[in-house]
Homo-oligomer: A and B are copies of this chain.
Amino acid sequence: MARTNDEARRAWQLLMRFFFRQRGQLPACGDQFGLSPVQCHVLHLLEPDDPMPMSRLAKTLSCDASNVTGLVDRLETRGLVERRPAAGDRRVRVLGLTPTGSRVRGELLRHVSGRPNPLTRLTPDERRALVRILERLLDEQDG
């Protein structure tokens, strides 16, 4: 049990290190469009034809709802997203991509896919194992 937690902590530490090390390459990705890492992530999360309420975005980002206001303000100023009224509950604002936002999102994904990143150096088996493990981690937390 103690061993399990120690191993989990080790994995967590490695994840943190990997993340911070990768961070240096993230701005280069967003700089092209003048977007911060978080803004890129939001654009990635916001799939076309699948708008999401601001409260859901706050939950997905694990941050306070007040942050989402400013975050969306900045994305809206850039013309990438827009707030829309939600059907049925007039308190709710639903976030959708503008045509420009949809185009930039596509360019962003192509930009990421188009250049090799550290994950491409894993073997196919390793990549599949990593994806499967991450999917399990994300699934288990949904409940």
Question: A121: CB under 8 A from chain B?
Answer: yes
Is the beta-carbon distance between B63 and A23 smaller than 8 angstroms?
yes
Which residue of the partner chain, among B8, B124, B129, contacts A117 with CB atoms under 8 Å?
B8
Which residue of the partner chain, among B12, B23, B135, B141, contacts A14 with CB atoms under 8 Å?
B135
Residues of B contacting A130 in the complex (Cβ-Cβ under 8 angstroms): 11, 130, 133
Question: A91: CB under 8 A from chain B?
Answer: no
Q: A5-B116, A113-B2, A131-B10 are in contact. Are A62 and B16 (CB under 8 A)?
A: no
**Nearest opposing residue in chain B for A60, CB measure:** B20
CB distance from A105 to the nearest CB of B (A): 12
Which residue of the partner chain, among B4, B6, B138, contacts A21 with CB atoms under 8 Å?
B138
Q: A121-B140, A127-B11, A134-B11 are in contact. Are A21 and B114 (CB under 8 A)?
A: no
Is the beta-carbon distance between A18 and B127 smaller than 8 angstroms?
no
**Nearest opposing residue in chain B for A116, CB measure:** B5
Residues of B contacting A128 in the complex (Cβ-Cβ under 8 angstroms): 7
Chain A window 26-64, contacts with chain B (Cβ cutoff 8 Å), 1 for yes, 0 for no: 000000000000000100110000000000000011110
Is the beta-carbon distance between A21 and B141 smaller than 8 angstroms?
yes
A117 to B10, CA, bound (A): 12
Q: A7-B131, A113-B5, A133-B130 are in contact. Are A17 and B138 (CB under 8 A)?
A: yes
